[in-house]
Every structure is written in structure tokens, then in C-alpha cells.
Amino acid sequence: MGRGLCPQRIPRTFHVKSFGCQMNVYDGERMAELLTAQGMTATAERDGADLVVLNTCHIREKATEKVYSDIGRLRRDDGSVPLIAVAGCVAQAEGEEIMARAPSVKVVVGPQAYHRLPEMVADAAAGKRGTETVMPAEAKFAALPKRRRSGPSAFLTVQEGCDKFCTYCVVPYTRGAEISRPFSDLVEEAKLLVAGGAREITLLGQNVNAWSGQDDKGRAIGLDGLIRTLAAEPDLARIRYTTSHPNDMSEGLIAAHGEIAKLMPFLHLPVQAGNDRVLKAMNRSHTVESYLKIIDRVRAARPDIALSGDFIVGFPGETEAEFQDTLDLVGQVRHAQAFSFKYSPRPGTPAATMPGQIAPEVMDERLKRLQEALVRDATAFNRASVGQRCDVLVERRGRHPGQWLGKSPWLQSVHFTGDVAIGDLVQVDLVEAGPNSLAGRLVD
Ligand code: 5AD
Ligand code: SF4
């Protein structure tokens, strides 16, 4: 055998490695299903795989550099390389450059074109490298195989793309314009996921609450209408959705939190910053006041709701006083959990060339202070849950013998021991809290 991949050989095994957001996780699962439908077998480790798909993320930091170092690490001890496909948002943004710089990459496929992965892999095995980064996504979903098996908690992409153009964000360029998948396709996919073992479905979209469609009677509906329909599925126990934009938080969706028992009491609603000048410069098109009003209304509809969010510190021009406003907002809202990031200039976005770029050490220091406040609030939220009895969906085994891990309605990780199985929905008393998880006791 010569070194490297024999050009005529179609891969028999594959490994998909997804980075970044839950939508990428969903896309990674669909790519794996596509390749499986071609007769290929997934491997747990990338080392032994004939084909490795790097499903990349471009949202922050030196994403492209990371892809190149990952590609380098795929070289095996004997000098050979698997067939490498680069998918995801870096593929979309930097496809041609990747092809030019990394000869070992044979396929580059964007997030709206991955239904073409099998034929591109076949072409590559026959010696023909290829790049596909068409948008938008209409053709993709129809070309994917039907879903068969699912874990207890499944993702379902209902909406893709973004028209909001926040000035720091690369998503509108890598994922394209907002599209909503049709109602009937989503109901069908949800039923298949439930038939395949899902007890919980998380509806995904870059702006999931902007989803719109027509129900089976032709009536225009929003995300709340879709949730109401899915809630009628007898074997589906829980529904979640993420990520939402404040401007698309409709009255109907807020009310749904008080009305639909299967809709879990959790809302991820990024605010990004707590100062109106910064929000305007970010092109967020909401204010601190309008955000807080939404939070009040959501809490009125569902008093126990757990709130989550995203924050960016060190946006260009952010002053110390403006950053303090973010800390003040955090102090008012008291999030149950949150993600916080240092601003990262993304090539091609308006903010990348704005004056007043913030020094890294200032960003580090602000992020540290913000995260201290967020950890304080997450810990307080978890501590306040101690003493409650709640349902936990069992997702996997824990690290210790006999231990199980699952999620509370508020998306907290709960560990406990007992005689249960993956996919069970069990009652647990919450007995101890940390910042990231809770200990529970199974109710007999
Ligand atoms: N720099 C830092 N954080 C960013 N996000 C998006 N773009 C950037 C960027 N350029 C964060 C936002 C968004 C989350 C998914 O990632 O907080 O809500
Ligand atoms: Fe990016 Fe803003 Fe769209 Fe979210 S709403 S994906 S942050 S542009």
C-alpha cells in the first residue's frame, strides 16, 4: 500500500467532529445520518476513520487557525491522512482559502449545502476535490434521509439564518438569510424523533422565535403555534427552544410559557450588553428598558422561569461606565445561567473596523468581573432549587458507579443514584447545589 488515501477508495468509516453551537451539533448528526445511509460506519474516535468531517464554527476567536491546526493533527503516525472534509461556518466563510492552503482537505461544504456531502466524498475518493457553499438552504432538508434513532433529548432545527445583522456577528454571512422550515416537515420530523426515542425536543434556530409558518389549516402561526402542536404528541414530554432575539418575543410565545405544561420553564434570551449606546452600536434594535419589560412579562406568565443569556464584553468603544451598566443589568435580572464572551473582531463585520477597539487586558478584567457576577447568580438560583421536588429526564450515566445524569425542568444538570434507565422521566428531590449542577435523591 502507498502512503495516504488510495484515490479510488470510497471511505468505509467516518467521524464527524462538531464545534460551536447546537445548530452545528444538529447539522453534525444529520451529516452522520447521511453518511450512514450510504453504508458507512461511524467511529467513536477520529483516529481510525477513513473520512473525518470537521464541522467548524466561526463565531469567535481564531477559528480558522484552529481548523488548520486540527487538519495538521489528523496526520497519522505513518504519515498518511484520512479523507478530510471541512464543513460548517468556517467552510462557508473561508472555503477557497482552505482549499488553497490545505491540500489534504478534499471537500469543503457550507452549512446550507451539506446534503451534497456523500457525492462530494465519492468525487474526492475518485481524486476530484470540491467546494460547495451555495445558499440558501431550501434544498438541503428535503435531500436528507428520514430520522431514525434519537437520544432522550433531541435537537430539531426549525429556523436557520439571520437577518438582524448585529454589527459584531458573522452569522448573517455564514448562515445566510432567515428561513423557516415548513410546519408539516417539522411535525413529521418531530414524530420521527419521538418514535426513535426522544422524550424532549429542543427547537433550534439562530432566531428561533422568528419562526413563522402555516398550520395544517393554512392559518399563519408563530413559534408558539408550532409548540402547541408538538405538545399534543403523547410521548413527547418536554419542549424547549433556543436561541431567541428580544424583538421576536411575541405576546403569544410569552403566554405559551404560562399555558403549555410541556414547554419547559427556561428562556435563553441574549441581551449582549446593558447600555443603550452600546446596544445601538451593536445594532441590537432593543434597549435595556424594552429587554427588562420582556423579562417582567415572561416572569409574570411563568414565575419560576429560569433565565439565560449571552453577553459580550469589550465591544469597540465600551467605556468602564458602560460596562458597569451591564453589571447593573445582571444584578437586576439574576440569570439562572449565562454565557459571556470577550468581543472578537470577525472579518467582514462592521464592528471589526470600528474605532475604539478595547485592549485585551481590559477585556480580560471585565470578563472576569462579569463572570463572577454570573456565577454568583447561577449558584444562588441552584441553591434556591434545593428542597424542591421535580422531574428529571435521565440522559446518561454519571462518572461514579450507579450514578445517573439528567436535566431538571430548569435545564440544571442533576446527578443521583437509583434504579432508572436512560430516557426515563423520574421524580427527584434536589438536595445539594453547586454553580453548575445539583445533587438529587430519587423519589421512591
Ligand atoms: N465576539 C464575541 N462574541 C460574539 N458572539 C457573537 N459574535 C461575537 C463576536 N464577534 C456571541 C454573542 C452571541 C453568541 C452566540 O456568541 O453573545 O449571542
Ligand atoms: Fe448574530 Fe445578532 Fe443574528 Fe444573533 S441576532 S445570529 S447575534 S446577527
Record the cell numbers describing residue 253, joined without a space.
410565545
pLDDT at 440: 97
**Among protein residues, the one whose CA lies closest to atom 1 of ligand 2:** 169
Residue 267 CA, ligand 1 centroid: distance in Å: 18
How many residues appear in the chain?
444
What are the tens digits of pLDDT across the range 255-285? 999 999 999 999 999 999 999 999 999 999 9
pLDDT at 138: 66
**Among protein residues, the one whose CA lies closest to atom 18 of ligand 1:** 310
Residue 103 CA, ligand 1 centroid: distance in Å: 31
Question: What's the mean per-residue pLDDT of the chain?
Answer: 94
Residue 8: is its pLDDT beyond 60?
Answer: no
Regarding the beta carbon of 351 and ligand 1, being less than 6 Å apart is answered no
The whole-angstrom separation of Cα 342 and Cα 369 is: 12
**Are 427 and 435 spatial neighbours (Cβ–Cβ below 8 Å)?**
no
**Are 93 and 57 spatial neighbours (Cβ–Cβ below 8 Å)?**
no
Nearest C-alpha neighbor of 411 from the set 429, 387, 395, 431: 395
Residue 394: is its pLDDT beyond 90?
Answer: yes
What are the tens digits of pLDDT across the range 84-129? 999 999 999 989 999 999 999 999 999 999 999 999 999 999 998 9
**Which ligand is in closest contact with the Cα of 172?**
2
Task: Tell how far CA 69 is from the center of its chain.
Answer: 23
What are the tens digits of pLDDT across the range 141-173? 888 888 888 899 999 999 999 999 999 999 999
Give the amino acid at 353: T
Torsion of CA 17, 23, 26, 32, to 10 degrees: -40
Of the pLDDT bands very low, low, confident and very high (cuts 50, 70, 90), residue 324 is very high
pLDDT at 444: 82
Record the cell numbers describing residue 140, joined without a space.
438541503
**Among protein residues, the one whose CA lies closest to atom 2 of ligand 2:** 166
Residue 60 CA, ligand 2 centroid: distance in Å: 13
Q: Are strands 403-407 and 413-417 parallel, antiparallel or unpaired?
A: antiparallel
The whole-angstrom separation of Cα 373 and Cα 381 is: 12
pLDDT at 136: 66
> Is residue 140 left, alpha or beta, with left meaning phi > 0 and alpha meaning psi from -120 to 50?
alpha
pLDDT at 295: 98
Task: Tell how far CA 156 is from the center of its chain.
Answer: 11
Residue 264 CA, ligand 1 centroid: distance in Å: 25
What are the tens digits of pLDDT across the range 13-43? 999 999 988 999 999 999 999 999 999 999 9
For residues 219-248, average pLDDT: 97
pLDDT at 417: 97
Best mutation site among 60, 89, 169 for ligand 2 pocket (most ligand atoms within 8 Å of CB): 169
Residue 56: is its pLDDT beyond 90?
Answer: yes
Nearest C-alpha neighbor of 327 from the set 366, 278, 380, 296: 366
Regarding the beta carbon of 173 and ligand 1, being less than 6 Å apart is answered no
Nearest atom in ligand 2 to the alpha carbon of residue 245 is 5
For residues 62-82, average pLDDT: 87
pLDDT at 103: 92
Residue 6: is its pLDDT beyond 70?
Answer: no
Give the amino acid at 89: C
Regarding the beta carbon of 312 and ligand 1, being less than 6 Å apart is answered yes
Q: What angle do CA 239, 166, 324 make, to 5 degrees?
A: 90
Of the pLDDT bands very low, low, confident and very high (cuts 50, 70, 90), residue 62 is confident
Residue 418 CA, ligand 2 centroid: distance in Å: 42
Q: Which of the pair, 47 or 422, is modelled with greater confidence?
A: 422
H, E, C per residue of the chain: CCCCCCCCCCCCEEEEEECCCHHHHHHHHHHHHHHHHCCCEECCCCCCCCEEEEEECCCCCCHHHHHHHHHHHCCCCCCCCCEEEEEHHHHHHHHHHHHHHCCCEEEEECCCCHHHHHHHHHHHHCCCCEEECCCCCHHHHHCCCCCCCCCCEEEEECEECCCCCCCCCCHHHHCCCCEECCHHHHHHHHHHHHHCCCCEEEEECCCHHHCEEECCCCCEEEHHHHHHHHHCCCCCCEEEEECCCHHHCCHHHHHHHHHCCCECCEEECCCECCCHHHHHHCCCCCCHHHHHHHHHHHHHHCCCCEEEEEEEECCCCCCHHHHHHHHHHHHHHCCCEEEEEECCCCCCCHHHHCCCCCCHHHHHHHHHHHHHHHHHHHHHHHHHHCCCEEEEEEEEECCCCCEEEEECCCCCEEEEECCCCCCCEEEEEEEEECCCEEEEEECC
**Among protein residues, the one whose CA lies closest to atom 4 of ligand 2:** 206
Pocket of ligand 2 (CB under 6 A): 162, 164-166, 169, 171-172, 206-207, 245
Residue 424 makes CB contacts below 8 A (sequence gap 6+) with 393, 394
Residue 162 CA, ligand 2 centroid: distance in Å: 6
> Is residue 331 left, alpha or beta, with left meaning phi > 0 and alpha meaning psi from -120 to 50?
alpha
126-129 contact pairs (CB < 8 A, 24+): 126/7, 126/8, 127/7, 127/8, 129/99, 129/105
Residue 356 CA, ligand 1 centroid: distance in Å: 18
Residue 295 phi/psi, 5-degree rounding, is -60, -45
Residue 13 CA, ligand 2 centroid: distance in Å: 36
